[in-house]
Structure 1
Amino acid sequence: MRRPTRARILGAQCAVTWAACLALFATALTDTAAAAPLDNPGALTRITAAADLAKFQLKENRVPESSLNNLAAEMGTAVGVDTVLKSANHTMRNRSGCVPDERMALPLDPAATDAYCWDTGDATTQSWLPQSVTTSGDADDDGSWGANKVILSGWTHNDSKAGDPEADKHLARVAFIDANNPAQFKYRWVLLVIPINGGTNYKKLESHLGGMVWYQDKLIVTARNGAADNNAMYIFDMSRILQANVNSTAIGKVSGGWSARGYQYVMPAIGSYSLTAGACNSSVGTSVPCFGSVSLDRTSTPDSLVATEFHSSGGTEAGRVWRYYFSTAADRPGLIGINGSGVANVDEVYRTKVVGMQGVLSHKPGGASTANWYVPESTWGPKVHGALWRQNLQGAMAAANCGQPKKYSCWGQHTQALSYWQSTGKVWSLTEWAANPDAKWEDPVVPERVLFATPLSSIDAALDN
C-alpha cells in the first residue's frame, strides 16, 4: 500500500528554509541512499554504533498464565494443530488448476517446483491480503509437527478496501494448511486474538502479519506498525488453540458462548515483544524500525529470528535487516533469548539499499563465516515481476535477463515472506495481489495469488551480476 515517499517528505520540509532543505537532502543521501527500483543494491553495510543498535531492543511481555488458563477453562479444552487440520474446509488448487493470471505470477527464474492456488473465494477476495508463510520445517528440524506436514499462511485485512466494516480493520487470520498430500493441499482459517479482562474475554489482534516464525511450540508474528503499545511482534502457543461455538459477526464472549466473527477457531496471544525505544517510524531509515517480515535461520548458532523493516514498495526508502538469537533455556522453548531484565538485544544489524523489501531469509553456507541474506524486492503495479536479491558484505546478486523490461525482474509478482524448509531444501513464498488492471482494490479482480516453493540451490544457481 502506498505511503508518502522520502521525496515528498523532504519536499514538504524544504518549504521551511533552504538551509534546512540542504541538510535534509544531505542526510538522506548519506544515511538512507537507496538503489533505484530493481537496480543492483550492492553489498550490505554493518551497523555497529551502540545508539543505533539500541533502536532494535525488545522487551518481552507475557500474558499471565492465570488469564490464559481462565480463558481455556471458560471456552473448553484447547485443541491441537492436528484437530484443526482434520477440520480443513478449503481445498487448494494444484498448478494445473490455477488460472493463467495466477501462473503468470510465479517466478520466471528459477522456476517454482511447487505451486498451489487458493480456493476461489480467497483467490479473488480484495478484503484480505496474503502476507506471510512459515512451516513445520521451521517448527521442527525433521520437517513435521507430530505426524503432519503443515504450512501456515498469515493474511491481514485490506484496510484500503472501500466499503468493508470498520470492525474488520487490522484483523489477522492464519491458514493452517494440511500439506501431507502434495496432490491435495487443504486448509482451515484460525483467527488471532488477545485475551483481556483476566482471561474472561478476548478481542481481535491487530496485525499486518508481514512475517511469521513457527519455532518449536511457539508462533511469533509481526504486529501492526504504529499501534499505541509499540509492539513489534506477538507470541502464540500452538497448544492453546480454542474453539468458538457461536457463529456471529462479534469477536469475544456473546450470549450463548464465544464468537470469532464466523471463524471456528481462535488463537489467543500469550505475550508480545515491544520496542523499548518507542514508536517505530517507516518514513525514515535511521529511526526505530517498523517490523516488516521475519523468518527462521537454523544455520546460526543458536537458531535465530531474522527480520527486515517495512518501507513502501511505492517509495524510495531503503531499509535494514537484523537478527535475534532464540533462547536455549529448557523453560523457554520457542522464545527469543532475554537478559535478567526481560530485554532482548539485537545480535547484528545491516543496512541494505533494497527498496520495498517484502521478506527476508538468512542462510549460512557450509564452511562460511557469515550468512547470505535473501530479500525479495517488489515494485508497484499489476503483473509486475520483482527481484530476489542475495546480499552479503561482498555484494549483491539476483537472477537476471528473463525477458522482462528490468534486468533483474525474474522473481514472482508481488511476493511476500520467505521460509526455508531445511529438511527439503526448499524456500516457500507467496504472492499477494488481487487488484484490478488499474492497481485499484475494486472490480474486475485480476487474481495473482500463488503459494509456491523452489529449492534454495536453484535460487543460488540462477544468480547473476
Structure 2
Amino acid sequence: MKHRGRHRRRKQGRAMRAFLAGTALALTAAATMISASQATVGDDPGALEPLTGAGETRALGLREQLAPQATLDELASRMGEPVGVRAVLESADRSLRTASGCTAGERTALPVAPAATRAYCWDAADTRSWRAGAVTTSGDADDDGWWNDNRVILSGWSQGSGDRGLARVSFVDANDLNHLRHASALLVVPVDGGRDYRALTSRLSGMVWYQDKLLVTADDGLFVYDMNRVQRTTVDAAAVGRVGDGWSAHGQRFVLPAIGSYRLTGADRAPRLGAVALDRSTAPDSLVASEWTPVDSDRHARLWRYDFSKDPARPGLLATDPAGSAAAVEAYETEASGTAGILSHRAAGTKRADWYLGRVPGTTDRQGSMWRQNTEGAKATRCGSEDAPRCWGAQVGPLSYWEATGEVWSQSGRMLFAVPLRSIDRALD
C-alpha cells in the first residue's frame, strides 16, 4: 500500500522545481552540432480530424481479462511474499552517467531545441542487445510525484522478438537527480495456474504507471502489472521461469508478474498500438494511445483515449462496462506518421486538449520532430538557419509528463532526459 506525506512532499516538490530551474544543463553545444538543414519541411500533419462514428471508435475497444486471484496467490506462495518497489530500489547498484560524463556521440541523440535540462546516459554494458522502448515515472503514479518515500523513473526495454522476446523494466532511484541508480525486473506472465511463469515476449513501445498498476504495450493490447507484486528470483541463469527448486529471470534479480491484460477487439480494423501516456488534465484521468504507422507513410494514424476507473475497488484499471469492455471515449485521425511518443494535455483555463507527438526521423533526416496538434492545426519546434522542424531526439522515444515538476521525460537511444513542458510550448509558439 502507498503511504502519503503530502504536505511535506509538496514542499519538497517546490524545492525540487526550484533546484531544476536553477541547474539547467548546458547541453545545447553538442546538440547543435547536428545540422538541421537536411530536414524536410513539408510534413505538416495539419489539424486533427475527430472520429465520431460508432464503427470508427468500436475498432479501438479493449476487452479486460484479469488473472484469477488463485493464480496470483499460488505464484506468491511458491516464490515467497512479494517485495514491492522499495526492495528493487534498495538493490540498485548500477549508475547512469550525467550528461557531462556521456560521450559527444551519445549526446547527439538529445533534442536540438528545446534543450534538455536533465540528461543521463545508460552504460553500454547494461543495455547491450536491449532496445529502449518506454518511460513512465512516479509522477504518473501519483500527482505528488512520490511512490511511498521515493521518486522513481521506470525505463522499459525489449530484447529479441517473437517467442524469443524479452521485456524488462529498469527501476531508477531518482531521489538524488545528480546520482541516478537503477536495478531491473523482468516482465513475466503467470502460467500453469501460477505454478510457473513465462517471459513477456511482446514488443514494448510504451507504458504508464498509474496508482499501483503498470500498463505496458503488447502486440495486440496492454498487459497489466501490480507494482505491489514484485517478486525476487533465486537462480541467476539464462532461463525464465521455474528452474528445479528455484526461480530464474534471465539474470534479473526480480520479476514482475502480469495480473491481467487488455486486448484490442477491432479485428482487422484494430490499430498497431504505438505509444501510450497518462493525461491528468481530464476528468477522470485518462490513458492516451497512438497508432504506429511507418515513418514517411501516407496512411493516416489514429489517436485516442480511455478513461481510468473511478471505482476504489479497481485502482489503476481502465473504466469498463459490465461485460469488461473499455471503450475509446475520444478519437482522432492524424496525418502524422512514425509517432513514437505521445502526450495529451489541456492547459488550465482552456477547453481543448493539445496532443504532443514525437515523430521518428524520416529516411533522409538525422533528427526526429516534436509536434503539437489539435483540431485547429499543428506546430513543430524549429531550429537551424532554415527554421526546420527536425529538432527533437535522433531516436525518438516515449513522452511522460511529471506534473509536480512540469517536466516531460523521454528517452533517445541510451540517453534519458527531461525537458520542461513550458520550454516545448515556448519553442512551438
Q: Check if 1:255 corresponds to 2:244.
A: yes
Which residue does 1:418 correspond to in 2?
399
Which residue does 1:74 correspond to in 2?
78
Q: Which amino acid aligns with 2:71?
A: S
CA distance in 1 between partners of 2:124 and 2:102 (Å): 10
Aligned ranges for residues 293-442 of structure 1 at < 5 Å? 293-313=275-295, 315-380=297-362, 384-403=366-385, 407-432=388-413
CA distance in 2 between partners of 1:37 and 1:139 (Å): 37
CA distance in 2 between partners of 1:304 and 1:294 (Å): 10
CA distance in 1 between partners of 2:88 and 2:317 (Å): 23
CA distance in 2 between partners of 1:290 and 1:38 (Å): 25
Q: Check if 1:453 corresponds to 2:418.
A: yes
Which residue does 1:150 correspond to in 2?
152
Which residue does 1:189 correspond to in 2?
184
CA distance in 2 between partners of 1:383 and 1:348 (Å): 32
CA distance in 2 between partners of 1:132 and 1:336 (Å): 20
Tell whether the 8 Å contact from 1:363 to 1:372 is kept in structure 2 after alignment: yes
CA distance in 1 between partners of 2:160 and 2:240 (Å): 18
Tell whether the 8 Å contact from 2:296 to 2:363 is kept in structure 1 after alignment: no
Q: Check if 1:200 corresponds to 2:195.
A: yes
**Structure 2 counterpart SS, 1:210:** coil
Instruction: Give the superposition deviation at 1:250.
Output: 1.0
Give the TM-score of the pair, scaled to structure 1: 0.81
Tell whether the 8 Å contact from 2:41 to 2:388 is kept in structure 1 after alignment: no
CA distance in 1 between partners of 2:169 and 2:298 (Å): 31
Q: Which runs of 4+ in 1 moved over 6 A?
A: none
CA distance in 1 between partners of 2:410 and 2:383 (Å): 22
Q: How many residues align?
A: 390
**Structure 2 counterpart SS, 1:43:** coil
Q: 2:266 aligns with which of 257, 274, 277?
A: 277
- The 1:71–1:132 alpha-carbon spacing in structure 2 relative to 1, beyond 3 Å, is same
Which residue does 2:16 correspond to in 1?
none
Instruction: Give the superposition deviation at 1:248.
Output: 1.2
Unaligned runs of 5+ in 2: 1-39
Q: 1:138 aligns with which of 137, 140, 144?
A: 140
CA distance in 2 between partners of 1:38 and 1:425 (Å): 31
**Structure 2 counterpart SS, 1:416:** coil
Tell whether the 8 Å contact from 1:38 to 1:408 is kept in structure 2 after alignment: no
> After superposition, what is the alpha-carbon deviation per residue over 1:151-171, rounded to whole angstroms, capped at 9, x for unaligned?
001111144xxxxxx86x321
**Structure 2 counterpart SS, 1:415:** coil
Tell whether the 8 Å contact from 2:211 to 2:316 is kept in structure 1 after alignment: yes
Instruction: Give the superposition deviation at 1:380.
Output: 4.7
CA distance in 2 between partners of 1:181 and 1:38 (Å): 42
Q: Check if 1:106 corresponds to 2:88.
A: no
Answer with 249-258 or 348-357: which moved more.
249-258
> After superposition, what is the alpha-carbon deviation per residue over 1:54-88, rounded to whole angstroms, capped at 9, x for unaligned?
10111100100010011011001111111100101
Identity, % of aligned positions: 47
> After superposition, what is the alpha-carbon deviation per residue over 1:302-321, rounded to whole angstroms, capped at 9, x for unaligned?
00000001122264433111
> After superposition, what is the alpha-carbon deviation per residue over 1:235-256, rounded to whole angstroms, capped at 9, x for unaligned?
0000001111011111111113
**Structure 1 counterpart SS, 2:70:** helix
Tell whether the 8 Å contact from 1:38 to 1:387 is kept in structure 2 after alignment: no
Give the TM-score of the pair, scaled to structure 2: 0.88
Tell whether the 8 Å contact from 2:167 to 2:200 is kept in structure 1 after alignment: yes
